[in-house]
Amino acid sequence: MNRKFAGRTARDLARSIEEAVHAGTLQPGAPLPPIRQLAVSSRLSPVTVAAAYRRLHSRGIVVGQGRRGTWVRPNPASPGLPADQRAAAEGLIDLATGNPDPDLLPPLAPALASVSAGPHLYGEPPLNGRVVTFAAGEFAADGVPADYVTVVSGALDGVERLFREHLRPGDRVAVEDPSVPALLDLIGGSGFHAVPVQIDGDGPRPDSLSAAIARGVRSIVITPRAQNPTGAVISKARATELARVLKGHGDVLVIENDPGGPVAGAPYETVSHTLTRWAVVRSVSKFLGPDLRLAVVAGDELTLARVQGRQSLGVRWVSHVLQELALALWSDPSSGRRLAQAADVYSARRRALLDALVRAGVGADSRSGFNVWIPVREETSAVQQLAACGWAVAAGERFRIRSGPAIRVTTASLPINRAAQLAADIAAAVRPSATASA
């Protein structure tokens, strides 16, 4: 390691390394020098170097595992856009970025016209009472206690605020494996340790969740339906099993993330109604539009009070214009029919690909949402072969902690009449070639 890191204090040394990461001279996955080695080369004490590494870890720049060393995170906290969130290459059919079908989102123009044109000023209540009442009704219809409800700027903002009020850097967070990359990045970027929980078609496996709790996790994030990337759905029986595992762990914050909401294509089964510390985060991104950046959160009184208290010190409130717009779109008399139709279309497109994959001899399962998770032997070659056929799909590496290699295919905008061709191309891409097997 020939790189020179400057600084006479832990803060300066950490800044020097962080600048190298953001400048690209220190690449993701690159190892950092052992503490004692860097202490000698930089003429600092090992205590100072260790403190610098702790700063970098809490900033989401590096990851370390004791004697195994310290290295730059695969996706360090950075202003750049992660690769899995970038637009598909020109000429490819985009089945990679996870977007909803724009044609199935409600039109904005009529709703915008209904939003109050009057100014909103300091001193007004931060929450729109009608939004809270409507959201509480939606939660209650799904069996989620809704005595306390608040509004945040999207699902990840809500999860981050919940983490901030319950965790400290170095705490462990149980998360489904595989899981959405943005959540894994948030956990690592906040200085927490992700503890993988195995899942199947019915959601998190109780034995794996129990093992994670035994490792001392302070929070658990689960997805009752439309799990990204697998499409898993927590069944009623599984919800009962999970609630039994969670019983007696009142100091663990359980967060239910509901990304699909009314277009998930599956009923909602909550595990939170018997818990002490809990929250359910429901984003409007998938059914009203990603640019609204709004989510509603139900939870226990103390947890939501902490979130609202911290919110009042910083961002103060979520734009009243956005709150009114989301309410207008969501509560419109025609909204229920539109969302039900969208859910049916999304389910039909997902089902068309699954059926075609079965006929093509490819194993895959997805019970809700926009995505199909397909195990493969080698992700990069499968993605490249499908790109050569005109399809952009996501490699599974960014979604996985310990689970096996796979690709994620987003079916939200997939024409049903193209499903058979896509399945045939996937089958050709995931099967070992005759040459390779010879």
Report pLDDT for 24.
Answer: 82
Report pLDDT for 40.
Answer: 86
Measured CA to CA, the distance from residue 98 to residue 84 in angstroms comes to: 9
Q: Tell whether the model's pLDDT for residue 112 goes beyond 50.
A: yes
Measured CA to CA, the distance from residue 361 to residue 3 in angstroms comes to: 50
pLDDT interval class at 438 (50, 70, 90)? very low
Tell me which residue of 76, 69, 59 sits closest to 38, measured CA to CA: 69
Measured CA to CA, the distance from residue 106 to residue 424 in angstroms comes to: 33
Of 422 and 191, more confident: 422
Q: Tell whether the model's pLDDT for residue 81 goes beyond 70.
A: no
List pLDDT tens digits, range 125-156. 999 999 999 999 999 999 999 999 999 999 99
Most confidently predicted of 40-49, 91-100, 335-344, 419-428:
419-428
Residues of the chain with CATH 1.10.10.10: 10-72
CB atoms within 10 A of CB 121: 7
Measured CA to CA, the distance from residue 12 to residue 44 in angstroms comes to: 12
Which of helix, strand or coil describes residue 297? strand
Residue pair 286/132 in contact (Cβ under 8 Å)? The answer is: no
pLDDT interval class at 334 (50, 70, 90)? confident
Question: Would you say how long the chain is, in residues?
Answer: 438
pLDDT interval class at 77 (50, 70, 90)? low
List pLDDT tens digits, range 371-385. 999 999 999 999 999
Residue pair 221/257 in contact (Cβ under 8 Å)? The answer is: yes
Specify the amino acid at residue 49.
V
Residue pair 337/263 in contact (Cβ under 8 Å)? The answer is: no
Measured CA to CA, the distance from residue 156 to residue 353 in angstroms comes to: 29
pLDDT interval class at 171 (50, 70, 90)? very high
**CATH topology for the 108-331 domain:** Aspartate Aminotransferase; domain 2 (3.40.640)
Q: Which CATH architecture has domain 10-72?
A: Orthogonal Bundle (1.10)
How many percent of the chain have pLDDT more than 90? 69
| Strand partners for 256 | 222, 280
Residues of the chain with CATH 3.40.640.10: 108-331
Report pLDDT for 436.
Answer: 43
Helix (H) or strand (E) holding 10: helix 10-23
Specify the amino acid at residue 239.
A
User: Which of the 8 DSSP states describes residue 262?
Assistant: G
Strand order in the sheet with 203-204: 149-152, 295-299, 278-283, 253-258, 219-222, 172-177, 193-200, 203-204
- State in Å, rounded, how far the first CA of the chain is from the last one: 41
Helix (H) or strand (E) holding 194: strand 193-200
Residue pair 269/224 in contact (Cβ under 8 Å)? The answer is: yes
Average pLDDT (101-127) is: 90
Report pLDDT for 336.
Answer: 86
pLDDT interval class at 116 (50, 70, 90)? confident
Which of helix, strand or coil describes residue 193? strand
Structure tokens at 51: 């403190």
Task: Spell 135-162 as b/e; 16+ CB within 10 A means b.
Answer: bbebbeebebbbebbbbbbbbbbbbbbb
Looking at every residue in the chain, the average pLDDT score rounds to 91
List pLDDT tens digits, range 358-409. 999 999 999 999 999 999 999 999 999 999 999 999 999 999 999 999 999 9
Measured CA to CA, the distance from residue 39 to residue 45 in angstroms comes to: 5
DSSP assignments along 221-256, one per residue: EE-SSS-TTT-----HHHHHHHHHHHTT-TTSEEEE
Average pLDDT (66-86) is: 68
33: phi then psi, degrees, rounded to nearest 5: -60, 150
Which of helix, strand or coil describes residue 348? helix
The sign of the CA dihedral 378, 383, 384, 385 is: positive
The pTM score is 0.86
**3.90.1150.10, 3.30.830.10, 2.30.30.140, 3.40.190.150: which CATH number matches 83-103+336-437?**
3.90.1150.10
Measured CA to CA, the distance from residue 249 to residue 224 in angstroms comes to: 19
Q: Tell whether the model's pLDDT for residue 82 goes beyond 80.
A: no
- 195 backbone φψ class: left, alpha, beta (φ>0; ψ -120 to 50): beta
Residue pair 403/204 in contact (Cβ under 8 Å)? The answer is: no
Q: Tell whether the model's pLDDT for residue 257 goes beyond 50.
A: yes
Q: Tell whether the model's pLDDT for residue 271 goes beyond 80.
A: yes
Measured CA to CA, the distance from residue 31 to residue 10 in angstroms comes to: 18
Specify the amino acid at residue 415.
P
